[in-house]
Each structure stands twice: as structure tokens, then as C-alpha cells.
Amino acid sequence: MNKATPVAVEKFADCGPGKLWFVHHPDGFLIELAIESRAIQIADEINAGRAANSIDAEREVIANRAREIAGHYPEASDGRNTFVLFAEWVEGRSK
């Protein structure tokens, strides 16, 4: 296989049954994305040679969401600090 391909896997977990979406990368690894539309978009980006930009953009979305969730916790709480640290870790992976 020399193209990235979106792949759905049936899941039965605590959150209930459904499909979990991955992108099968041409190098043989899987990228977990959970949502079909994102899996298709990332596969298209990889196949067009723009994967680095798309993956960095996805990291930014994840980091921003983590910061948004952190904002729901009291200042200096463990929950808030955990999400802030997670956001910083995600952002650091794109550098």
C-alpha cells in the first residue's frame, strides 16, 4: 500500500459501540483520529504531501481544546494544571 487510507474499526468500550477511525499511513503505522471526516482529511493531506501542516494544525486544535477544558476548573487545581500541562506537551510535539 503506497497511499494513506482511512480505516474504521468497530469498538465496544465504556463509551458504547461504534466506529473508531484511523488513517493507515503508507509507512505502516496507524494514526488514531476517532472521527471519519478527520480521518479522510488527514489521509488526503498525507497523500498530497501536506501531512506535516495538517498534523500540526490538528495538534493546535487539541491543545486549544485542552486549554478550554482547563478553564472549567478552579485556578491552581489539579484538573486545571493537568489540562494545561497536556496542552503544553501537545504544542511541544509540533516543534
Beta bridge partners of 30: 24
Model confidence pTM above 0.75: no
Domain ranges of the chain: 1-49, 51-95
Instruction: Give CA torsion, residues 26, 29, 33, 39, to 10 deg.
Output: 10
* E strand spans, 14-94: 16-24, 30-32
Helix, strand or coil, per DSSP, at residue 5: strand
Residue 1 has pLDDT above 60, yes or no: no
Residues 6+ apart with CB under 8 A from 86: 66
| pLDDT digit string, tens, across residues 15-29 | 556 677 888 877 667
Are 78 and 94 in contact, with CB atoms under 8 Å apart? Answer: no
Task: Give pLDDT, residue 71.
Answer: 94
